[in-house]
Structure 1
């Protein structure tokens, strides 16, 4: 079996559905027509550039170019994490936490998959490393964003309670215990929900793509199970790192709550 190639006319036909969304926005006066058009154009341009870059990197099969592209993805992820926060923590350390947590969690999960689970030859083959790393990074990014947003919002909302615990001699993690647990739960909930609904409610993108490319559904399902396990591990590691790191950033060496390090709420 082989996949059915798509032509530009096929993509233009699929875009009719996007135009329908624009018509809905115009009809109900939602004002989203411009946003839909810009988002769609941005997606097409980004995917086109990435596709050409991946073709170049796959042809080289170089660990250096693979690593450089992975770092580029991590930098973009860090920007997305920071931009999604309602109350941003200032300083380069906060940015490093937002980028570093998903990067290192995704990197560990990717290396585990390529070196031990899949075992391609060579183990750093970009055809395997970069797609897997992209999935790990994207999901870890979402968990990190949710944790940081939950931590910063709760530190302002529950400021009096946290400061009272600190004043009574509680350690920083003890004072943030309830806030941290809720934030970790929030960060892990998307992957928990995804695992619970995968296969019954929806077929994941990776499995669907493999089936459309002619892969046996059973083999595609095996790969999807592996990926979901890896995503769960990467997300969990990133969420915990972001949660613990945010407690350090929201307090100082004298165990004082430092909400002054947060920017005003983004509107």
Structure 2
């Protein structure tokens, strides 16, 4: 089986399916027609630009280009989290926590997966590093946002009980142990659900893309298993770091609760 390239006409034909989105929005007066159109155009432009940029980066052999683009990916993910949680936590501390969490987890898991499991030559090749980092960041970004959102909401909801425990001398992690556990569950549950249904209910994008491109299904499945394990580990680690960091952001040095 050989790779079948797509023409621009093929993409236009596929885009006609968005008419269903617009029709449903119009029929039920959801007011999403403009948002759907903007999101579609934005996606196409972003993917077109990223395709051009990656083609240039893949042609380079210097790890500096790879590292530079990786930093840009982390920065974009950090801004996305800050945008989702605007007003819930202090902006700059939130960005520092999110950015450092994504940078650490993304770097650690990606280097582990590429440098110690896949072991290509060279191991720092952008063709391997950036796609895996992108999948790791996409999932950890969602986990961090869910954890911090759940934690701040639970802290507001249980403010009285938390302040009572703090007043009795409980340290911040103990006083917020309930919201922390709830936030960790919220952050990790989507990944667990995805792992449970992968292969039975849905074929993930990476595996599907490899199969369509002509790869052996067994080999594609192996790579998908690897990616799922990497993402699961990254999600758990990022959720823990975000939850503990969120507890620190929600309290001051004297272990007093502070909410915006």
Sort the TM-score into its range (normalised by shorter chain).
over 0.9
Paired residue secondary structure (2:245)? helix
Task: Tell me the CA shift for residue 87 of structure 1.
Answer: 4.3
Q: Which residue of 1 aligns with 2:81?
A: 81
Query: CA contact under 8 A between 1:106 and 1:133: conserved in structure 2?
Result: yes
Structure 2 counterparts to residues 33-72 of structure 1, below 5 A: 33-72=33-72
Task: Tell me the CA shift for residue 31 of structure 1.
Answer: 1.1
Q: Which residue of 2 aligns with 1:265?
A: none
Q: Which residue of 2 aligns with 1:13?
A: 13
Structure 2 counterparts to residues 199-214 of structure 1, below 5 A: 199-214=199-214
Task: Tell me the CA shift for residue 86 of structure 1.
Answer: 6.2
CA distance in 1, matches of 2:146, 2:7: 38
Q: Deviation above 6 Å: which 4+ runs of structure 1? A: none
Task: Tell me the CA shift for residue 253 of structure 1.
Answer: 1.1
Q: Which residue of 2 aligns with 1:121?
A: 121
CA distance in 2, matches of 1:149, 1:27: 32
CA distance in 1, matches of 2:222, 2:25: 40
CA distance in 2, matches of 1:86, 1:66: 30
Map Cα deviations across residues 177-209 of structure 1 (whole Å, 9 max, x no partner): 111001001000011000000001100000000
Task: Tell me the CA shift for residue 98 of structure 1.
Answer: 1.5
Task: Tell me the CA shift for residue 26 of structure 1.
Answer: 1.6
Structure 2 counterparts to residues 163-202 of structure 1, below 5 A: 163-202=163-202
Task: Tell me the CA shift for residue 43 of structure 1.
Answer: 0.1
- Any gaps of 5 or more consecutive residues in structure 2? none
CA distance in 1, matches of 2:176, 2:139: 25
Structure 2 counterparts to residues 145-156 of structure 1, below 5 A: 145-156=145-156
CA distance in 1, matches of 2:150, 2:93: 18
CA distance in 1, matches of 2:236, 2:91: 25
Q: Is the deviation greater in 240-249 or in 22-31? A: 22-31
Does residue 92 of structure 1 match 2:89?
A: no
Task: Tell me the CA shift for residue 91 of structure 1.
Answer: 4.1
Query: CA contact under 8 A between 2:82 and 2:91: conserved in structure 1?
Result: no
Q: Which residue of 2 aligns with 1:108?
A: 108
Map Cα deviations across residues 20-79 of structure 1 (whole Å, 9 max, x no partner): 221222222221110000000000000011110000000012211111111101111011
Query: CA contact under 8 A between 1:102 and 1:234: conserved in structure 2?
Result: no
CA distance in 1, matches of 2:55, 2:166: 54
Paired residue secondary structure (2:211)? helix
Q: Which residue of 1 aligns with 2:236?
A: 236
Does residue 221 of structure 1 match 2:235?
A: no
Query: CA contact under 8 A between 2:198 and 2:204: conserved in structure 1?
Result: yes
Task: Tell me the CA shift for residue 242 of structure 1.
Answer: 0.3
Map Cα deviations across residues 138-177 of structure 1 (whole Å, 9 max, x no partner): 0000100000001111111111000000001101100011
Q: Which residue of 2 aligns with 1:3?
A: 3
Say how many residue pairs are matched. 260
